[in-house]
Amino acid sequence: MTDELRVARVSADQLHELRRRVLRNDDPAIYHPDPRDEEETSWHYGGFIGSRLVVSASFFPSAPPMNTELVTVQLRYMATDFDVQGRGYGAGVLAFAEEDLRAHGVEQVWANGRDTALGFYESVGWRRVEGSEHLSAETMLPHTVIFKRLSRDEVAP
């Protein structure tokens, strides 16, 4: 990375524009903020280069499809701005978020990862749930359920 990434917890409204541009083809007609965005149990992280937001990631309490006994949150709306993809900024935001969530008692994170991003998630330690491939009802794009245990003494599912 040539530019210094700063990661911080942010309010959801700071992330809406990036989410819409990257995840919904910049179409305001098909983008709607998540109703859980303002809940106290939601976690939102932004990655910044200078004052510019370049990465968004939000986490919501959600029953996981695996390891149901663990304290778990679901990653939604992970987006890295187009011109800075592949520079490690998304990995930096996830590392910060995972450490922060772990410090607050979260034991596992999961997501419906876009198939086009599975290589990225696997490169930062996430795993696929075999047989979980599906089309997203929101985007009609192929997705796969992925997860990561946050405990330091990780145990396989």
With a CB cutoff of 8 Å and minimum separation 6, the contacts of 81 are 18, 21, 22, 53, 54, 55
What integer pLDDT is reported at residue 151 of this predicted model? 80
pTM of the model: 0.91
Contact 80, 89 (CB under 8 A): yes
Q: Which residue has the tokens 């983008």?
A: 31
**Residue 27 half-sphere exposure toward CB, CA atoms < 13 A:** 6
Read off φ and ψ for residue 117, nearest 5 degrees: -110, 5
**pLDDT above 70 for 1:** no
Task: Quick: pLDDT tens for 127-148.
Answer: 999 999 989 888 888 999 999 9
Task: Quick: pLDDT tens for 73-118.
Answer: 999 999 999 999 999 999 999 999 999 999 999 999 999 998 999 9
Percent of the chain residues topping a pLDDT of 90: 81
What integer pLDDT is reported at residue 154 of this predicted model? 53
Single-letter code of the amino acid located at 18:
L
Nearest residue to 73 via CA among 103, 42, 48, 96 = 42
Contact 20, 28 (CB under 8 A): yes
Give all domains of the chain, ordered by start, each with its CATH number.
5-149 (3.40.630.30)
**pLDDT above 50 for 60:** yes
Task: Quick: pLDDT tens for 24-37.
Answer: 888 878 777 899 99
What integer pLDDT is reported at residue 122 of this predicted model? 97
Distance CA 101, CA 124 (A): 16
Tell me the average pLDDT of the chain.
92
What is the DSSP code string of 89-121?
A: HHHHHHHHHHHHHHHTT--EEEEEEEGGGHHHH
Distance from the Cα of residue 101 to its chain's centroid: 12
Single-letter code of the amino acid located at 24:
R
